[in-house]
Amino acid sequence: MLLRARPAPFAVGPAAPAARTMGRMELRLATPDDAPAVQAIYRPYVERTAVSFETEAPSADEMARRIDKALSRWSWVVAEDDAGVLGYAYAGAFAERAAYGWSVTCSVYVGEGAQRRGVGRRLYDDLFARLAARGFCRAYAGIALPNAGSVGLHTAVGFTPVGVYHRVGWKFGRWHDVGWFERALRDEDAPPTRV
């Protein structure tokens, strides 16, 4: 599979802010009260990149609904420091059929001033531990290509590439490919058990 290099995720539009000085980072489960901060992190990905295939940024109310849904069965975690939320990661259903119930899709988003500082890796490590404790076996991630930063993060936390959907999404006047990656969350030989 050919994965092309890509400029930093916020190369489109105004220059990204300078790196944020981070204090002590804490990881915790998200709550609907985090929705405005989560929405502020996600909005530039929607409006200025093809990282997300959404074409209109969801409202804070919609993000609160998404957080509630993820917490109902899977998980949603945030990283924060004294200044506020740095990023978030969440999981959801891989597919609707019952036999897929042990697999999840997951995503991670880090705020513009906190990227390339280990936030994404820490979020994923925490998320995967929570998912494994709930009995989930495999995680899948779709990455709009090219995106060297996201591919690097996902491979660093144990994902391996499984294939590419070519020209699957239309955004900003052109087609985009999506690479799919997978990762084990726990022992694959054991029968699945829901916790």
Length of the chain: 195
**Letter string b/e over residues 15-46, b meaning 16 or more CB atoms within 10 A of that residue's CB:** ebeeebebeebebeebebebbebbbbbbbbbb
Per-position pLDDT tens, the chain of length 195? 333 333 333 333 333 334 445 568 999 999 999 999 999 999 999 999 999 999 999 999 999 999 999 999 999 999 999 889 999 999 999 999 999 999 999 999 999 887 878 899 999 999 999 999 999 999 999 999 999 999 999 999 999 999 999 999 999 999 999 999 999 998 777 778 775
CATH number at 34 reads 3.40.630.30
* Domain span at 41: 26-139
Q: Give me the number of domains the chain comprises.
A: 1
Q: Which of 37, 171, 170 is nearest to 110 (CA)?
A: 37
Q: Is the pTM of this model over 0.75?
A: yes
Q: Cis peptide before 146, with omega less than 30 degrees from 0?
A: yes
Whether 76 maps to a domain, the answer reads yes
How far apart are the C-alpha atoms of 167 and 165, rounded to whole Å? 7
